[in-house]
Chain A
Amino acid sequence: MSEPMIEITNLHKSFGALTVLRGVNLTVEKGESMTVIGGSGSGKSVLIKHIIGLLFPDKGQVKVAGQVLNDLDDHQLNELRKKFGMLFQMAALFDSLTVWENVGFGLKQHTKMSDKEIRAVATEKLALVGLKNVEDKMPVDLSGGMKKRVGLARAIAMDAEIILYDEPTTGLDPITADSINDLIVDLKKKLGVTSVAITHDMHSAYKISDRIAMLYKGEIQEIGTPDQIRGTTNPIVKQFITGSAVGPITAD
C-alpha cells in the first residue's frame, strides 16, 4: 500500500488553559474522503487547521504527502500548500475583492493566466456550486449560503489534490446541500481528490465519506466506514449520530 496522504500522530493542542486536542491519531489515504464529526467546540476546525499548517502541534506531528509540517521552512510550506484547497467555516472571502477575483485568487497568484481566462474558470466553478451571475458582486452583497458556495468554488478552483471542507453544507437549503454532496463525491471520483470534511449533517457525512471519525474530548472516539458508524456500539457515537439529548454526552 502506498504512503498515506495525511498522517496525524498523537496531536496535542492547547490554547492557554484550554486543552482542545489530547492525542489525536488520524490517517487519510490518498484519494480517500474522511469526514470528522463531533460536537460544537470539540476542536474539529482546530484539527483541520493543523493539516494545512495554520496551527502547529504542541506535541505530536502532522505529515502531509510524506513531509512533516513542523520541519518545513516558509518556502517549503508554501509549496506544500499549493496542493491544497480549503473551505473555511465562515467562508473567509476576501471582502475587498469581487466574487470572481476571490474564486480566481490562487490562479492569479500562481499561474500566468490572463484575467479573462481566470474569469472563465471562475464562472465555471461557480456554476458547479450552483451560482450564476454573481461574478461581479462583492462578498458583502451575498447571503450566508452564497458566501459558503463561493468559498467552495474558491477551494476547488485550483484543482487541488487535497481539499479541506469545514462544514460545506451548513447553512444551505437541503436541495442545494445535496447538490454540494454530489459535487464533493464527483471531485473524488473524477479527480481522485483526497479530502477531509467536517460536518454536523449526518446525511451528508454518510453520502460523501469513505470513512467517518468522531472527535470527542480531544480524541478520536471511533473511526469507520459509514456502515460501521451506523451500526456502532459505542454509546457516545451512537448518541451523536442519532442526535439525542440523553446519553453519555451532555451539553455543557
Chain B
Amino acid sequence: MINKLLELLGKKTLALLREMGAVIIFCGQTFRWTFSRPFYLKNLLKQMEQIGVNSVPVVLTTAISTGMVLALQSYTGFKRFGAQSLIGAVVSLSMTRELGPVLTGLMVAGRAGASMAAELGTMRVTEQIDALYTMATNPMKYLVVPRFLASTIMMFFLSGLGMYIGILGGYFVGVKVLGTNPVTYMNQSINNTEVEDIWYGLVKSLVFGAVIGLIGCYKGFNTEGGAEGVGKATTGAVVVSCMLILILDYFLSALLW
C-alpha cells in the first residue's frame, strides 16, 4: 500500500519535473529564434490583432467592473473610520499595482492562451506543423515567436488600458454614485499613485504576457492524440498559465518592491 503510494508519488514527480524541463527548453528555443532571421512581421501583426485587439472587450468589462466594485467596497469599509476620502487612492493603487495586470492576465490567458493552444494543437494533430518543417520553414519561428511576442507586447497595452478604465470606473462610483468630492477624490488618487506604481504594474504585465504566450504555444505545440488531445492542451494551457500568473505575481510583488 505505502509502496504503491510512494511509487505513484515518484512517477508524478518525475513527470512534473520532465515537463518543467521541457518547458524551460521550449522557452530557451523561443528566445533563440526570436532574435534570428527571418522575421515574420505579417504573422506578428495578425497575432497582435487576435490576441490584443480582440481581447479589448473582455478586458474592458473586467476592469470597469473591478474598479467600480473596489470603490464601492472600500467606501463601505472606510466609512466606518471616516476615511471615505481615501477610496480614490485605494482604487488607483490596487488597479495599477495589482488588479490591472493580474486580472487582465487571467482574462487574456483564458481567451488568447486557450485559442493559441487549440490552434497550434490542431495544427500539430493534422500534421500542419510537420508540413511546415518539410517546406523548410521553422514552425518555432513561423508560429511560436509571433505569438510569444504578440502576447507579451499586447499584455502591456491591455493591462495599461485595464488600469485606466478601472480607475475611471472607480471614479464614477466614488464621485457620481457615492458622492465623494471629485477634487478630493482626484487629489487622493494622484498624490498617492507614483509613476513607479504604473511601471511596476506594466512590468508585471510583460512577464504575464510572456507566460501566456509561452505556455499556450508549448501546450499546443506538444499536443498528442486527436481532438481529445487538443481539448487537453487547451485546458492545460489555461490552468498552467493562470497558476503561473498567480504564483509569479507574489514573487514579482516581493521582488519589485
Q: Is B255 an interface residue (CB 8 A)?
A: no
Contact (Cβ within 8 A) A81 B128: no
Cβ-based interface call for B126 (8 A):
yes
**A 212-234 binary contact with B (CB < 8 Å = 1; else 0):** 00000000000000000000000
Q: A98-138: which have CB < 8 Å to B? A: 105-106, 109-110
Contact of A90 among B127, B132, B133, B138 (CB under 8 A): B127
Q: Check A95–B134 contact: CB distance below 8 A.
A: no
Bound: A94/B124 CA distance, A: 11
The minimal Cβ–Cβ distance linking A14 to chain B, given in whole angstroms, is 16
Q: Does A78 contact B (CB under 8 A)?
A: yes
A73 within 8 A of B: no
B interface SS class: helix
Distance of A86 Cα from B131 Cα, bound (Å):
8
Residue in A86, A92, A93, A95 whose Cβ sees the most chain B Cβ within 10 Å: A92
Could you say which residues of chain A place their CB within 8 Å of the CB of B130? Answer: 49, 54, 88, 92
Contacting residues, chain A, for B122 (C-beta < 8 A) = 95
Within 8 A of B (CB), among A38-96: 49, 52-54, 74, 78-79, 81-82, 84, 86, 88, 90, 92-95
Q: In the complex the two chains form, is B134's CB within 8 Å of A54's CB? A: yes
B138 touches A110 (CB 8 A): no
Known: A86-B131, A88-B131. A78 touches B126 (CB 8 A): no
In the complex, A92→B134 CA distance in Å? Answer: 11
Known: A90-B126, A92-B126. A81 touches B131 (CB 8 A): no
Find out whether the CB atom of A92 lies under 8 angstroms from the CB atom of B127: yes
CB of B136 closer than 8 Å to a CB of A: yes
CB-CB < 8 A to B133: which residues of A?
Answer: 52-54, 81
- Does chain A have a CB within 8 A of B137? yes
- The total of chain A residues at the interface (CB under 8 A) is 21
Q: How many residues of B contact A (CB 8 A)?
A: 14
Closest to B133 in A: A54
Partner of A88, one of B127, B137, B138: B127
Q: For A81, what are the chain B residues with a Cβ–Cβ distance below 8 Å? A: 133-136
A82 to B138, CA, bound (A): 12
- Complex contacts, B128 vs chain A, CB 8 Å: 92-95
Within 8 A of A (CB), among B214-235: none
Question: Could you tell me if B134 and A78 are in contact, using CB atoms closer than 8 angstroms?
Answer: no
Residues in chain A near residue B131, CB distance under 8 A: 86, 88, 92-94
Taken together as a complex, chains A and B put the C-alpha atoms of A180 and B135 apart, in Å, by: 22
A183 to B135, CA, bound (A): 21
> B202: shortest Cβ distance to chain A, in Å?
31
CB contact list, B136-164 vs A, under 8 A: 136-138
Residues of chain A within 8 A (CB-CB) of B132 are 94
Which of A49, A79, A95, A109 is within 8 Å of B135, CB to CB? A109
Chain A residues with CB under 8 A of B135: 81, 105-106, 109
The docked-state distance in angstroms from the alpha carbon of A109 to that of B131 is 13
Tell me how far the C-beta of A132 lies from the nearest C-beta in chain B, rounded to whole angstroms: 24
Within 8 A of A (CB), among B75-128: 122-123, 126-128
Query: Which B residues are in CB contact (< 8 Å) with A52?
Result: 133-134
Would you give the shortest CB distance from A42 to chain B, in whole angstroms? 19
**Distance of B210 from chain A, by nearest CB (Å):** 23
Contacts of A109 in B (CB 8 A): 135-137
Instruction: Compute how far the CA of A74 lies from the CA of B138 in the bound complex, rounded to whole angstroms.
Output: 9
Contact call B138/A78, Cβ cutoff below 8 A? yes
Contact: A82 with B126, CB < 8 Å?
Answer: no
12 new A-B pairs (CB below 8 Å) besides A92-B128, A93-B131? Answer: A52-B134, A54-B130, A54-B133, A79-B136, A88-B127, A88-B131, A92-B126, A92-B127, A92-B131, A94-B131, A95-B122, A95-B123
Q: Which 7 A-B pairs have the closest CB atoms?
A: A92-B127, A92-B131, A81-B136, A86-B134, A78-B136, A82-B136, A106-B135
